[in-house]
Amino acid sequence: MSDQNATTPTAQPWQGRYEHDLVPTFSTPPLLIERGEGAWVWDAEGERYLDFLGGIAVNSLGHAHPVLIEAVTRQVSRAAHISNLFASAPQLELAERLKRLTGAGDAGRVFFANSGTEANEAAFKLARLNRGDGSRSRIIALENAFHGRSMGALALTGKAYMREPFLPMVPGVEHIPATLEALEAAIDDAVAALFVEPIQGEAGVIELPEGFLSRAREVTQRHGALLIIDEVQTGAGRTGDWFAFQHEGITPDAITLAKGMAGGVPIGALVTFGAASQLFHTGQHGSTFGGNPLATAAAGAVLGEIENADLVGNARVRGEQLKQLIAGLDSPLVAGTRGRGLLVGIALAEPVAEQLVRAAREHGLLINATRPDSIRLAPPLIVGDAELTAFRERFGAALADVAAAPSTTAPTEKVNA
């Protein structure tokens, strides 16, 4: 169909081009970002913003970090992609690093994918392979969980409004409340696996009840079920330990990770522990791009810098400082904080999250509303005193603006977790 009013695409405002050319699975973004440096980004108008969303917990080293630039530049000049028919040194080195950092050790194995969703798809297949004598057909996940939007990962996702347009789901998944009582009642000898996020990031940075992971490890071991921990948002040092399950001193059967592992280059991974490493066999899963030299070189460099610069420790220290800073603002809109390390949720006393996101943006700060009464912060692991000071000024100003405005209730700005 011709459009008599059509203009040259590049002559249109960027918002019009976005709406005209992209599938409308997201609302039109508020900004066109042109570049970034450290914890800062600049939009097409030259305005500077403090980025405390970090690409939704992806940009571990911030923007344009020289370690990532050097690694990607060096690798792309050699070989960006060779397919999964061949091995590469970056792939092997990253697998060895992940086995060491996760504690999977010599018996552990790694499958590389392109995203957290794909890592969870691999984990779903792993769960299906844990059939025992054929009687294990149930897979348990938690209400309000987010594991991705592909059909298998969506079946695991505990949000009915996300699943309903695409029913019927992949069968066999049941969702339970994140309580010790529900956990005890659900796990039996017919359960193949339990999927758990240590902190439900997309739900508003909601932590599990105290002792939940430890109890989950006990009951799954007793019944022969796999404990699969989704570390897509919490892994790679984000919570002040390499992986959030390590805070609890347990050993899972498998974890999935992605996001911050390569600092912005797409990658995902399934890491298996112990006997779970023997479930997959040749030909049962694969990925054309997964584990290619470019992505694994990037991830190796990012994880190496996190380790060398002790950014795991920085996340732990700066996360506590950030919570104290927020409490010190003494705003009537702030009801409290949640989360660990540099994955912080702010509970609001009123459903004004969207207004607060907009006000923060007007003051040069990027944050995220996951619910009408909840803000998510996931700044780069490199943040220091200067960035925290800038956050206090900008977030404090945004809180003051919203507190002074007439009370209104509006839908929350949504992004893909």
Any binding-site annotation on 391?
no
Peptide bond into 168 cis (omega under 30): yes
Provide the phi-psi class of 134: left if phi over 0, else alpha when psi is between -120 and 50, else beta: left
CA distances from 40 to 43, 194, 317 (A): 10, 39, 21
Contact call for residues 59 and 380 (beta carbons, < 8 A): yes
Ligand-binding annotation for 146, yes or no, is: yes
- 259 tagged catalytic: yes
> What backbone torsions phi and psi does residue 299 show, to the nearest 5 degrees?
-65, -40
Residue of 51, 52, 212, 230 marked catalytic: 230
232 marked as part of a ligand binding site: yes
Tell me: is residue 231 an annotated ligand-binding position: yes
Query: CA-CA distances (angstroms) from residue 11 to 6, 7, 62, 167, 236?
Result: 10, 7, 32, 41, 41
DSSP string, 305-351: HHHHTTHHHHHHHHHHHHHHHHHHT--TTEEEEEEETTEEEEEESSS
Our CA angle for 295, 202, 379, nearest 5°, is 60
The response to whether 288 counts as a known ligand-binding position is yes
116 among annotated binding-site residues: yes
Q: Among the options 112, 259, 323, 391, which is catalytic?
A: 259
Task: Tell me, yes or no, if 146 is annotated catalytic.
Answer: yes
Q: Active-site residue among 124, 146, 245, 273?
A: 146
Binding-site residues sit at 116-117, 146, 149, 230-233, 287-288
Q: What residues are labeled active site?
A: 146, 230, 259
Binding-site residues for pyridoxal 5'-phosphate sit at 116-117, 146, 230-233, 288
Binding-site residues for N(2)-acetyl-L-ornithine sit at 149, 287
